[in-house]
Amino acid sequence: GDKAFAQFLTDEIKEEKKIQKHKSLPKISGGWELEVHGTEAKLVRKIAGEKITVTFNINNSIPPSAEEDTQEQQKPDEQEPELTSTPNFVVEVIKDDTKQSLVLDCHFPEDEIGHEGEEESDIFTIREVSFQPPGEADWKDTNYTLNTDSLDWALYDHLMDFLADRGVDNTFADELVELSTALEHQEYIKFLEDLKSFVKCQ
């Protein structure tokens, strides 16, 4: 059984490498520095007196595909629809002269993806906003967190503009999806390779 499994994995890895779009990870325009630690990626950008970091994790970032849709559109000889990784991402804005960072938790709403042509709508939304001590990995529950569900739309618009002024806009979000998708695919291939070595190991 393990032999067949290893053979299957070998073929699978070949196929995945064939459809791999990016041999190296795509860059994000606007002078963002990329750091990758396993499945977590961090983008950092410094502008006058501020440091902006965007963090996301590719785990569980591929939305479940609706089965019905794929059946309809897929012609028998077509490739499977492309998987896109749309991770939640956290934007942290640290001003040099304060001991606080403003943290905005953003995500891609599932129904928004793929509605091109609606120029006005944002492809990502802000879910929560809070102040956190800079560099804290975990949000403190004791800090007030603003949930945007019940937010005054004018305030929400200002928050979106605040992000856009710092380079986090629709273009950025598109490029983030591309980067995340490439990263996810790269990790998937690496996982298959590790699994193959593991299965073959006597």
Spatial distance between the Cα atoms of 181 and 202, rounded to a whole number of angstroms: 34
Residues listed for the chain? 202
Residue closest to 103 by CA, chosen among 42, 163, 180? 163
Q: Which helix (H) or strand (E) holds 163?
A: helix 153-165
What pLDDT does 167 receive? 95
Tell which CATH architecture fits domain 1-59+84-109+122-200: Roll (3.10)
pLDDT band for position 202 (cuts 50, 70, 90): low
Cβ distance 129 to 102 under 8 Å? yes
Instruction: Give residue-wise pLDDT tens across range 134-173.
Output: 766 666 777 889 999 988 999 999 999 999 999 999 999 9
Instruction: Give residue-wise pLDDT tens across range 44-101.
Output: 999 989 999 999 999 999 887 654 444 444 444 455 567 899 999 999 999 988 878 9
DSSP state of 27: P
Spatial distance between the Cα atoms of 186 and 178, rounded to a whole number of angstroms: 12
Instruction: Give residue-wise pLDDT tens across range 22-35.
Output: 888 999 999 999 99
Question: Is pLDDT above 60 for 112?
Answer: no
Q: Domain-by-domain residue ranges, the chain?
A: 1-59+84-109+122-200
